[in-house]
Structure 1
Amino acid sequence: MNGEDPRVREAGTYAVDYRDGSVGEVMGCEGGLVQLRPIGGGREWDCPPAAVGDAEPGDVLRAKVQQLNRQVQARPR
């Protein structure tokens, strides 16, 4: 935890945005909001600390597999 708000996770850990179930990597906290980045990269989004929770290993694995599937499907054949 970051010592300020127990709901805000450390940068580099994975968290779930309870608003829509998205899993992301915690990038930091800015303006009282947690910044999450999609697994595999992409545009960060802001999430209120009350809507952030620990990502279970299965949640992270599922998000990584979904990202890999998107990459494979996007490859030219």
Structure 2
Amino acid sequence: MSTARENLPEIGELLHDTAADRVGEFRGATAGQWTLRAPGSGGEWEAEPGSVAPAGTYEHVRAEAAKLNARRRRLP
């Protein structure tokens, strides 16, 4: 028997929230919503599981750019 927990992405997996056109790392699931965190910034949001897809190459590049930009903003 399969459970809903078995169908969840791995924690930290990079996903594309197509409804918000945002890329985020999977943080967990609560009350039917998935929590995603923007790479490099820590800003979290809730997403409908049906609107979330695995990140493709383009989304991976966007995420890396976001991490580098966040790191650069922290430098003096």
TM over 0.5: yes
Report TM bin, short chain. Answer: 0.7 to 0.9
* Structure 2 unaligned regions, length at least 5: none
Corresponding residue of 2:31: 31
* Structure 1 unaligned regions, length at least 5: none
Q: How many residues align?
A: 75
1: CA distance, partners of 2:73 / 2:41: 17
Compute the RMSD of aligned alpha carbons: 2.6
| Greater helix fraction, Structure 1 or Structure 2 | 2
2: CA distance, partners of 1:52 / 1:6: 16
The Cα offsets for residues 42-76 of structure 1, whole Å up to 9 and x where unpaired, read as 12110011111000133122222133124425644
Q: What is the deviation of 1:4?
A: 1.4
The Cα offsets for residues 8-35 of structure 1, whole Å up to 9 and x where unpaired, read as 4222211110012211000010111010
Check the 8 A contact 1:15/1:24 in 2, yes or no: yes
Corresponding residue of 2:44: 44
Check the 8 A contact 1:11/1:27 in 2, yes or no: yes
